[in-house]
């Protein structure tokens, strides 16, 4: 390496540590793409996960002194995910996340391990002789997500959810009675389209997770079904109220869920004015838009003892 | 407008037309986002289309002389799509495309009208009391496409298809016997994963389209089902052979189809070497990748009289 | 609306409020796309912003009772952004965000207003007679961001930053001395490529913001230049250390900055093994990848009085 | 492999070849991500390319009989690109594409080789001591593209271009005098914003390419500069006319260019009606949109001998 390229000599007169300090930090590996095929006697089972691992801990010297002792390389994290997938990815992504997080928090320097998993569901292709044992079509209607945190003391946090679930109600949605001022032009709507591409995540009660008695696949399915049922059934006076209605329905349906967070864009569909062309438009022809959009973010939880 | 901003005086000494001429050209409106809700007595029907219109014709003076006489504004095309959607979008996207293309080719300057439509399928949300009459979830597994061309003389071309259909075979796929030279390192594979996100389009016989006897929704469904069935059933010696097998199965199933084109990325899934960690990996743990990818593009058509 | 479509009668026997309560929540409008052109005597000035507004406040009844009194429609927020853009977008996006946030927090129900702005920089097109007064090319090398929060009591928080800034060092980056265990296969690297697409945000000292003496365009430029200079100059023993070095350089350069957060993917470039083809590869030919990637997230702040 | 998974026995009574035949086809490798670093004595030089290779030839038996003899694996193509990058990527992407295409067309089965290259430009980071010798920032304002075809007989086709170049004119753009019918609502505009994200490609005269006397980097720069200059300088009566003006300016500037194709979306910017808020809006505040958009596609070529 020619001299021109060498690093500048650090300013030895000056210790940055007297002026600055390290705040919150974490590091890890993201977008670990993992597909597993379990080759059973009569059919194959497929799982398609994207895993991210992040660690928190005592990494001050790594940042401030360039000292890498104790650093687990993110490449090692990736290797661990693939190695663990061999034998320990036997059930839900949530359970796999717990296995991984408990492993990583075992490293000396690590105070907390966080594992995020997205699952792309696949369906067996229907054939004349029934569902194919070995051929699949990506479902595409949603992404299943799991978020797991384990800290050194052993406390755990598991959140599950759905992302990119795109839903539409063609009636039973209104928006009236809102505030009007000099910047308000939106008319009241007694009957409007409501469309969204939602992310809903829910936290399981920590003691239930520690007790090991949650069937994460079953609870996920119960929560998802309750969400969609409530979406279809309810009358929506606002997106905010829809979140309350869906979130409470999910917790009614699944006792292990402690709280639900929803992030709900309101993807506006504007009724086209066809009168210029001599046509009416009784709620039939809409322009679908993605920007700008309303964005509602709310958490609903079980009432805590006052 | 201050003088500085004015257009430069055109160079009257010089006639660009002596040196250059206009070649192929078309113009139109893309990404016209259209959702229709048909409000029946017992349920609503939803269609979600993205429409693009393009026109070809005698537009020389528009380009070379800035003369806009005869130009149909692309904004007018958009208005027309919404106006036609009011009463004439009663069946398939293909039929709607034909209505639109026949309208646009009626303009004097227009020699050919091309309409491309993408449809996002939605499903009724299942509820305890059956499929919801008025609440929908986006299917997400594929996009339906239709491409329609009508020329001034009345000849038509209709192509239908699927896009973004993501499929995987976990066995019955091999790749052996290929050429080897000094740049070849790929081992032969007797049993590999095959994954793709495919675009398949098929053309209907022109006389059948003109005869008006094609039920575009039914033929689309027949072709799509044949494609997926063949994908699941066949043994694949190469992606190229898979295209041949699927395309011929589609034409076997649906006589109105004249030819099929497939563009098939080969989304490689690499078996992870776990031996470094003391583990075997008998076809169970894979890295899923998107780049680089193989890309195979082939058309298969009915044999033409020699 | 036929009876089938009506909302289910709410279960009057049951008061959801006894079981559940609303947690954290906010709502607003996102992706408000705004371009302004200031038409000066000799040239036009262009700004291209994407604005998001979010409000926090007492919105319990909106969620739990469908009561919209006090709700500011997100459409009203959008209108306000465009109206304010007419006269009050005269300087930096940060200052515009403060104007907007102070307006929104003035609503009775609102306890905190949050405004996020992304700016796409454009450059005057160079011409033979100098920079064009009225024609621009999008710079594309980064997005400038501003995040403003104002609460009812008048306290403010302003964070500025860059996003999507893609940088690469072709030497002066190493990674050695990290932990090795049974899952570690990564060799030590004395000289590697380092590439990232970074997001860096920095907070201004609250009293300086309230004092009104920050020139947000000038401080942004100082911080950005210090970041890029430090990136180019430093020797990187790890991505973590690079963050420390760049962040402290930014605070050294700009006294109004209180802390810096960086989110730095490590976009791996793998040296290709060309020995199979009889070729060496002395750090010249690389595969560029985006997944998986390392992801480092750290905040550095001025030392606080112990 | 259990029997259930085996391929169905092919229908030996039936020869698909009597009914169907293979039409146009090609195959290859896409998204080959390649970064090269040339380590000179005083500075490093960086190139960042994405390469796609496709071959045409006699591949009938590959498709119809699953016979892979003669097939060059797409993995081999990828290896070849990296191996050639070691010594033969010494100049422009266009020249590298020619090297690759000439290599691939040398395979017996191959009748035509097509190489597409996208280049992401990077800039040296400016530092206090001048441009960094070894640290770069991605330019982001455009993608450079090259398309090369070589056929067995030795004829070549080289097209170069720019993609994703986003431009805006804040005046000197009008759209008047267009056709009006019952679907037309667009008012005439004497002075409007014109914005686009363009793709422009140009073909070099084949004899000039064969003669080997084109400096592809220099001609690319000449063409790009002429395009931007013309964009800035001209008065636009329509997007179509803008294409004519820019394309002819490019061919005026660079004699080796034979024809220019432009695909120009018209990214509409709508003046916001602020009168509802008691404000005027003299061309200052706009909503920026991406859909729907106009889309103009035209080729201009040198006049051919009549």
Nearest CB partner across the interface for B183, out of D80, D240, D300: D80
> Alpha helices, DSSP H only, in chain C?
60-65, 74-87, 93-104, 206-211, 216-233, 239-253
Do C5 and B133 make contact, defined as CB atoms within 8 angstroms?
yes
pTM of the model: 0.95
Q: Is D9 exposed, middle or buried (0-12, 13-18, 19+ CB in 10 A)?
A: exposed
Residue A4 has pLDDT above 70, yes or no: no
- Does the CB of D239 have a partner CB in chain B at under 8 Å? yes
Better-predicted residue by pLDDT, A8 or B19: B19
Reported as a single tens digit per residue, the pLDDT across A190-249 is 999 999 999 999 999 989 999 988 999 999 999 999 999 999 999 999 999 999 999 999
Mind telling me the catalytic residues of C?
29, 74, 268
Q: Which residue of D has its CA nearest to A287?
A: D292
Interatomic CA distance for residues D62 and D57, integer angstroms:
11
Q: Report the candidate in D302, A111, A283, D257 with the shortest Cα–Cα distance to residue B20.
A: D302
Task: Find the helix or strand (DSSP H, E) in which A63 lies.
Answer: helix A60-65
Q: State mean pLDDT over B189-212.
A: 95
Reported as a single tens digit per residue, the pLDDT across B143-180 is 999 999 999 998 999 999 999 999 999 999 999 999 99
User: CA of B67 to nearest chain A CA: how many angstroms apart?
Assistant: 27
| CB B285, CB B274: distance < 8 Å | yes
Residue B286 half-sphere exposure, CB side, CA atoms within 13 Å?
22
Interatomic CA distance for residues B172 and B193, integer angstroms:
8
Reported as a single tens digit per residue, the pLDDT across B106-140 is 999 999 999 999 999 999 999 988 999 999 999 99
Reported as a single tens digit per residue, the pLDDT across A97-131 is 999 999 999 999 999 999 999 999 999 999 988 99
- Does the CB of A134 have a partner CB in chain B at under 8 Å? yes
> What confidence category does residue B18 fall into, taking pLDDT thresholds of 50, 70 and 90?
confident
Do A140 and B142 make contact, defined as CB atoms within 8 angstroms?
yes
Residue D4 has pLDDT above 50, yes or no: no
Do A295 and C52 make contact, defined as CB atoms within 8 angstroms?
yes
Q: Which 3 state secondary structure label does DSSP give A94?
A: helix
Q: Which 3 state secondary structure label does DSSP give C49?
A: strand
Q: Is C49 exposed, middle or buried (0-12, 13-18, 19+ CB in 10 A)?
A: buried
| CB C165, CB D137: distance < 8 Å | yes
Do B237 and D68 make contact, defined as CB atoms within 8 angstroms?
yes
Q: Tokens 């755990």 identify what position?
A: A156
Do B276 and C185 make contact, defined as CB atoms within 8 angstroms?
yes
Better-predicted residue by pLDDT, C261 or D7: C261
Interatomic CA distance for residues A303 and B18, integer angstroms:
81
- Does the CB of A29 have a partner CB in chain C at under 8 Å? yes
Q: Which 3 state secondary structure label does DSSP give D215?
A: coil
Q: Which residue of D has its CA nearest to C286?
A: D35
Residues 6 or more apart in contact with residue C147 via CB below 8 angstroms: C97, C114, C115, C116, C117, C157, C158, C159, C160, C161, C201
Q: Report the candidate in B275, B168, D7 with the shortest Cα–Cα distance to residue A47.
A: B168
Interatomic CA distance for residues B250 and D256, integer angstroms:
47
Q: Is A29 a catalytic residue?
A: yes
| CB C30, CB A266: distance < 8 Å | no
Q: Which 3 state secondary structure label does DSSP give D50?
A: strand
Do A193 and B284 make contact, defined as CB atoms within 8 angstroms?
no
> Positive or negative CA dihedral for A219, A223, A229, A232?
negative
| CB C124, CB C136: distance < 8 Å | yes
Q: What is the DSSP letter of C141?
A: S
> What confidence category does residue A2 fall into, taking pLDDT thresholds of 50, 70 and 90?
very low
| CB A225, CB A218: distance < 8 Å | no
User: CA of B41 to nearest chain C CA: how many angstroms apart?
Assistant: 7
Q: What is the DSSP letter of D152?
A: T
Partners of A30 in the beta sheet?
C293
Do C68 and A238 make contact, defined as CB atoms within 8 angstroms?
yes
Q: State mean pLDDT over B248-259.
A: 97
Nearest CB partner across the interface for B5, out of C4, C133, C276: C133
Quote the radius of gyration of chain C (alpha carbons, Å): 25
Q: What is the predicted pLDDT for the residue at B14? A: 61
In the structure encoding, which two tokens stand for residue A184, read together? 């308000």
ipTM: 0.94
Residue B190 has pLDDT above 60, yes or no: yes
Residues 6 or more apart in contact with residue B44 via CB below 8 angstroms: A170, A171, B37, B38, B133, B134
> Positive or negative CA dihedral for C213, C215, C216, C222?
negative
Interatomic CA distance for residues C133 and C152, integer angstroms:
42
Interatomic CA distance for residues C30 and A293, integer angstroms:
5
Residues 6 or more apart in contact with residue B201 via CB below 8 angstroms: B145, B147, B159, B160, B161, B260, B261
- Taking one residue from B and the other from D, the number of pairs with CB-CB distance under 8 angstroms is 289
- Does the CB of B122 have a partner CB in chain A at under 8 Å? yes
Do D140 and C135 make contact, defined as CB atoms within 8 angstroms?
no
Q: What length does chain D have?
A: 306
Task: Find the helix or strand (DSSP H, E) in which D78 lies.
Answer: helix D74-87
Q: Is A268 a catalytic residue?
A: yes
Residue B10 has pLDDT above 80, yes or no: no
Q: Which residue of A has its CA nearest to D129?
A: A4
Mark the ranges of chain C whose per-residue pLDDT is less than 70.
1-15, 306
Q: Which residue of D has its CA nearest to C290?
A: D33
Nearest CB partner across the interface for A32, out of C28, C248, C292: C292
- Does the CB of C128 have a partner CB in chain B at under 8 Å? no
A-chain residues within 8 Å CB-CB of C175? 68, 73
Q: State mean pLDDT over D3-25.
A: 67
- Does the CB of C183 have a partner CB in chain B at under 8 Å? yes
| CB A224, CB A217: distance < 8 Å | no
Q: State mean pLDDT over D22-28.
A: 98
Do C228 and D172 make contact, defined as CB atoms within 8 angstroms?
no
The percentage of residues in chain D with a pLDDT greater than 90, rounded to a whole number, is: 91
Residue D296 half-sphere exposure, CB side, CA atoms within 13 Å?
25
In the structure encoding, which two tokens stand for residue A150, read together? 């384990």
Q: Which residue of C has its CA nearest to A63?
A: C241
Q: Report the candidate in C297, C175, C165, C290 with the shortest Cα–Cα distance to residue C231.
A: C165
Residue environment code for D190-213, b if the CB has 16+ CB neighbours within 10 A, otherwise e: eebbbbbbbbbbbbbbeebbeeee
> Which partners does chain B have (≥3 C-beta pairs < 8 Å)?
A, C, D
In the structure encoding, which two tokens stand for residue A241, read together? 């109220």
């Amino acid at each position: 390496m020619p001299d021109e390229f060498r690093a500048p000599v650090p300013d030895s007169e000056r210790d940055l540590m007297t002026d600055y300090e390290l705040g919150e930090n974490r590091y890890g590996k993201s977008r670990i793409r993992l597909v597993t095929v379990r080759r059973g006697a009569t059919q194959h089972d497929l799982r398609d996960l994207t895993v991210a691992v992040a660690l928190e801990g005592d990494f001050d010297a790594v940042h401030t002194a360039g000292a890498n002792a104790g650093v687990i390389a993110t490449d090692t994290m990736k290797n661990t995910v693939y190695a663990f997938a061999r034998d320990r990815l036997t059930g839900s992504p949530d359970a796999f996340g717990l296995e991984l997080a408990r492993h990583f928090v075992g490293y000396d320097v690590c105070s907390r391990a966080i594992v995020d998993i997205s699952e792309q569901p696949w369906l067996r292709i229907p054939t004349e002789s029934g569902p194919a044992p070995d051929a699949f079509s990506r479902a595409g209607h949603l992404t299943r997500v799991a978020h797991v945190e384990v800290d050194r003391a052993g406390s755990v946090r598991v959140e599950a959810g759905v992302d990119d679930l795109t839903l539409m109600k063609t009636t039973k949605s209104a928006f009236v009675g809102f505030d009007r001022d000099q910047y308000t032009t939106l008319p009241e709507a007694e009957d409007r389209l409501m469309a969204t591409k939602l992310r809903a995540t829910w936290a399981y009660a920590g003691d239930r997770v520690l007790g090991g008695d949650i069937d994460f696949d079953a609870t996920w399915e119960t929560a998802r079904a309750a969400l969609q049922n409530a979406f279809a059934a309810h009358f929506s006076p606002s997106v905010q109220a829809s979140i309350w209605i869906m979130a409470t329905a999910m917790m009614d349906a699944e006792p292990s869920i402690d709280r639900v967070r929803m992030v709900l864009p309101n993807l506006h569909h504007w009724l086209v004015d066809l009168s210029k062309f001599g046509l009416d438009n009784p709620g039939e022809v809409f322009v679908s838009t993605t920007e700008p959009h309303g964005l509602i973010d709310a958490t609903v939880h079980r009432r805590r003892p006052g």
